[in-house]
Structure 1
């Protein structure tokens, strides 16, 4: 049976500052756990740590995250070690290191606060999605059950689905009349299992979307289907603006945009919104574009120096 998202991102406390996780094959791209799954595991470790070891801080919500993917991860067990960097009255920051087989593979800083008790100046800006999007479907049940929603249609032909196994875990709905601009993806997503998105899911949502490179390849009429690329994340930042309800939400919208794709490296800007059109989180990535063979290649071993 395919593990649910909750099962795929589950963490277990080993001691007050050490946690374990287990990466599942069904939530991988090739042989490598999906970067969004890794990010959500970091969020779950932080949530658990602030609920237990740092409960006295009363800061349950991640408000910012910065992760560096040093090396590729792999299926199987992982150990995450937390260091309490700064404990403050308004915000606290922790550092997390993820290791497998003695290798430090992913490191990150996460800052926590309590969104329910935050106070301070709030102002309305003039920002909106540009170009504009059809945004909210007229009926989510119709979208899900019949596929006859006027503005959105489900993506059923997912490129390289056997390689990008994680794409089968999500139902993705795209603008029926095509994206509103090149280098841009608008989507509504829902977990295939029917699970609801919580704030710990935002790491996954920020990193799951159809390939911008695939769409631009077709637009430039390069001929044929684009090759199977692997897009390893180098850096992922997350700025959380809103606490989702404890029971979670069924649907989230995201807009993903690349500004410059050059020499096998690209930026990604992600805006995540809820059904009301309110911004839930913002994310920025640095991503590499390499052949799929790199994903499946054996690890290089370095001989010790004499």
Structure 2
């Protein structure tokens, strides 16, 4: 039986600034742990660190995250070392480095605050999703039941054997197709029935079907889209709202690249709850490479992505 999301992203404290994790095959893409799972591990380390070592700061919530994926990660144990960079009255920032087999593979900065007691100017804006997505599901239970007259349908990953992590989440997209090429609207639910928490937002920000398929065929290409691996190089996450302590079952996510060029693309990710509130914003820099790069043997123990 596959580990739950909580099990797949579990961490253990070794000392006040060192933590361990263990990446499992079921939450991988090919042989590489899913980038969203890695991101959620960073969020869990920061949450634990501020709840224990830095408890006096009273800053339990990650408000921003920046990760650099220096080398590809792998299944198995990982060590995460925290460095307290700046401890402030309103916000504090830590640096976290993830290593495996003495290779530093992912590094990041996470800033914490207390979002429930922060105060200051708040203003409504006129921003909205454009183009507008199909109306949200009125009854999520009917969505899970596959009701044919629903405006959303479940999508099954065609390369699920390679992208094993897609079997851990249920993804629903517009039944009549996306509102425009290169844009993906989706509703997400963890297959285990676990609830999304703020630490799960790392996974939600990086969980979606391929976004370039419509763009590929829009150019009049007749051949089938090759099987790509989309390794993340940089991931930024800006968390706007604290999810309830018990979590939420469903999240809405919109993903859109602005430029796909020379084997690289950007991704803008908007995460919302079921009443249309922005929960988090994310931006990625992603490579488009052959799946053989994912499965290739490491060279000299320092293989880059």
- Above 0.5 in TM-score? yes
Q: Distance in 2 between matches of 1:176 and 1:302?
A: 45
* Residue aligning to 1:215: 214
1:131 aligns with 2:146: no
Q: How many residues align?
A: 302
**Residue in 2 aligned with 1:249?**
248
Aligned to 2:275: 276
Structure 1 SS opposite 2:39: helix
Aligned to 2:85, the other structure's residue is in SS state strand
Change (3 A) 1:297 1:204: same
In 1, Cα distance between equivalents of 2:186 and 2:99: 33
Q: Aligned partners of 2:251 and 2:301: how far apart in 1?
A: 44
How far residue 302 of structure 1 moved from its aligned partner, in angstroms, is 7.5
Q: What residue number does 1:146 align with?
A: 146
Instruction: Measure the CA separation in 2 of the matches of 1:302 and 1:238.
Output: 30
Residue 17 of structure 2 is aligned to residue 51 of structure 1: no
SS in 1 for 2:93: strand
1:142–1:148: 8 Å Cα contact kept in structure 2? no
State the distance in 2 between where 1:81 and 1:18 align: 5
Q: Is the 1:153–1:175 Cα contact (8 Å) retained in structure 2?
A: yes
Aligned equivalents of 2:162 and 2:154: distance in 1?
A: 20
**Is residue 37 of structure 2 the alignment partner of residue 40 of structure 1?**
no
Does the aligned pair in 1 maintain the 2:189–2:251 contact within 8 Å? yes
TM normalised by structure 2 equals: 0.97
Mean alpha-carbon deviation: is it higher for 224-233 or for 109-118?
224-233
Give the structure 1 partner of residue 72 of structure 2.
72
- CA–CA separation in structure 2 for the residues paired with 1:265 and 1:135: 32
Cα deviation code 1:239-272 (max 9, x no counterpart): 0000000100000000000000000000000000
Task: Determine if contact 1:154/1:172 at 8 Å carries over to the other structure.
Answer: yes
Distance in 2 between residues matched to 1:278 and 1:149, nearest whole Å: 26
Judge conservation of contact 2:146–2:153 (CA < 8 Å) in 1.
no
Q: Does 1:113 align with 2:151?
A: no
- Report if aligned partners of 1:147, 1:154 keep a CA contact under 8 Å in 2: no
Does structure 1 conserve the Cα–Cα contact (< 8 Å) formed by 2:267 and 2:283?
yes
3-state DSSP of counterpart to 2:133: coil
| Whole-Å separation in 1 of the counterparts to 2:146 and 2:30 | 32
Quickly say closer, same or farther: Cα 1:149–1:198, change in 2 above 3 A. farther
Measured on the aligned residues, the alpha-carbon RMSD in Å equals 1.2
Aligned equivalents of 1:241, 1:149: Cα separation in 2: 34
The structure 1 segments of at least 4 consecutive aligned residues displaced by more than 4 Å after TM superposition are: none
- Measured in 1, the distance between the counterparts of 2:146 and 2:158 equals 23
Aligned to 2:122: 122
CA distance in 1, matches of 2:273, 2:223: 36
